């Protein structure tokens, strides 16, 4: 994953910080009960980690900062009338990455993520360009397995292609193209591809069943099998084997 351009610890004024909800991945940015607990802990001089911000202008700190991580801590300090706080200032020029930076902070501490929050983390990951690998212009899309690993439990590698198809269809299209990712060629990609792979496997086994069925010369045994496994429509097997094989060869899988 791409690292921020740099980070430094700085004491900043709380009134220089801008709260922009679009940088957050939680459905509810502020939980009043958490703010209350933090406020009481701060009164007891409990030490909290620095908040995380990005400068509005990377070349001029006087223009203020955008809060990335630490909303509950920030609100608790505001209510206590604290003027200054330590902050990790991340140098990041791309606003498309702000939400992903916030998501990374929320994965290591704070409230647990809801299902909707996890979906927002996934979207932030892709919008930040973390799904790509290699240099710009020659970048490829990472495999579903690699993306799921980097997302650390947000979504499984089997489920991720379905999310990608729904949220970023153009990226999904790239992922499903040959040589577009690091996935093994035989790995089925996405729900539709997994269904087709499963159908192919069924057809292979169906062919084996047909061959075994025709090897039986006892018509009574054939009748018993046909009755017991009627859902397989084995009555079709009474046709010449060449006709059955033709059906198998022409199945569009």
Q: How confident is the model at residue 133 (pLDDT cuts 50, 70, 90)?
A: confident
Domain presence at residue 148: yes
Assess whether pLDDT exceeds 80 at residue 134. no
Domain presence at residue 123: no
Burial of 205 (0-12, 13-18, 19+ CB in 10 A): exposed
Give yes or no: residues 46 and 90 share one domain. yes
Give yes or no: residues 29 and 53 share one domain. yes
pLDDT in tens, 183-205: 444 355 566 666 766 777 777 77
Assess whether pLDDT exceeds 50 at residue 94. yes
Domain presence at residue 121: no
Give yes or no: residues 95 and 142 share one domain. no
Domain presence at residue 19: yes
The pLDDT value recorded for residue 148 is: 93
pLDDT in tens, 45-69: 999 999 999 998 888 888 999 999 9
Domain presence at residue 116: no
Q: What whole-number distance in Å separates Cα of residue 51 and Cα of residue 72?
A: 10
- The DSSP symbol for 178 reads T
Residue span of the structural domain in which 233 resides: 191-250
Give yes or no: residues 143 and 84 share one domain. no
Q: How confident is the model at residue 252 (pLDDT cuts 50, 70, 90)?
A: very low
Give yes or no: residues 45 and 73 share one domain. yes
Domain presence at residue 45: yes
pLDDT in tens, 238-250: 444 444 444 444 4
Give yes or no: residues 181 and 203 share one domain. no
The pLDDT value recorded for residue 149 is: 93
Task: Give the pTM.
Answer: 0.64
Give yes or no: residues 148 and 101 share one domain. no
- The DSSP symbol for 189 reads -
Q: Domains in the chain: how many in total?
A: 3
Number of neighbouring beta carbons within 10 Å of residue 144: 26
Last residue of a domain, one of 82, 111, 140: 111
The pLDDT value recorded for residue 249 is: 47
- The DSSP symbol for 143 reads P
Give yes or no: residues 40 and 71 share one domain. yes
Q: What whole-number distance in Å separates Cα of residue 234 and Cα of residue 153?
A: 44
The CATH number given to whatever domain includes residue 22 is: 3.90.1530.10
Domain presence at residue 120: no
Strand partners for 65: 17, 55
Give yes or no: residues 99 and 11 share one domain. yes
Give yes or no: residues 201 and 182 share one domain. no
Q: Give yes or no for a contact between 132 and 142, defined as CB atoms under 8 angstroms apart.
A: yes
Average pLDDT over residues 77-103: 89
Give yes or no: residues 104 and 16 share one domain. yes
Give yes or no: residues 62 and 50 share one domain. yes
Last residue of a domain, one of 111, 145, 163: 111
Domain presence at residue 176: yes
Average of per-residue pLDDT values in the chain:
80
Q: What whole-number distance in Å separates Cα of residue 216 and Cα of residue 32?
A: 74
pLDDT in tens, 2-47: 655 678 899 999 999 999 888 888 877 788 999 999 999 999 999 9
Q: What whole-number distance in Å separates Cα of residue 38 and Cα of residue 49?
A: 12
């Amino acid at each position: 994953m791409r690292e921020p351009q740099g980070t430094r610890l700085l004491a900043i004024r709380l009134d220089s910080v801008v709260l922009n909800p679009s940088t957050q991945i939680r459905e509810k940015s502020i939980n009043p009960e958490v703010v209350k607990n933090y406020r009481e802990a701060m009164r007891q001089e409990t030490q909290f980690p620095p908040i995380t911000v990005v400068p509005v202008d990377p070349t001029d700190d006087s223009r203020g900062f955008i809060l990335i991580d630490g909303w509950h801590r920030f609100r608790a300090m505001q209510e206590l009338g604290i003027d200054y706080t330590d902050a990790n200032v991340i140098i990041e020029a791309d606003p498309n990455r702000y939400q992903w930076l916030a998501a990374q902070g929320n994965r290591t501490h704070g409230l647990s993520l809801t299902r909707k929050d996890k979906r927002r983390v996934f979207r932030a990951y892709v919008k930040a360009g973390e799904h790509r690998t290699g240099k710009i212009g020659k970048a490829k899309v990472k495999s579903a397995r690699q993306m799921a690993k980097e997302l650390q439990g947000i979504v499984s590698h089997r489920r991720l292609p379905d999310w990608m198809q729904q949220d970023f269809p153009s990226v999904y299209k790239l992922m499903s193209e040959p040589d577009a990712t690091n996935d093994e060629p035989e790995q089925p990609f996405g729900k539709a591809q997994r269904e087709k792979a499963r159908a192919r496997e069924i057809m292979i086994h169906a062919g084996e069943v047909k061959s075994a069925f025709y090897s039986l010369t006892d018509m009574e045994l054939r009748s018993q099998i046909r009755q017991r496994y009627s859902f397989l429509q084995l009555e079709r097997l009474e046709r010449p084997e060449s006709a059955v094989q033709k059906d198998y060869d022409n199945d569009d899988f």
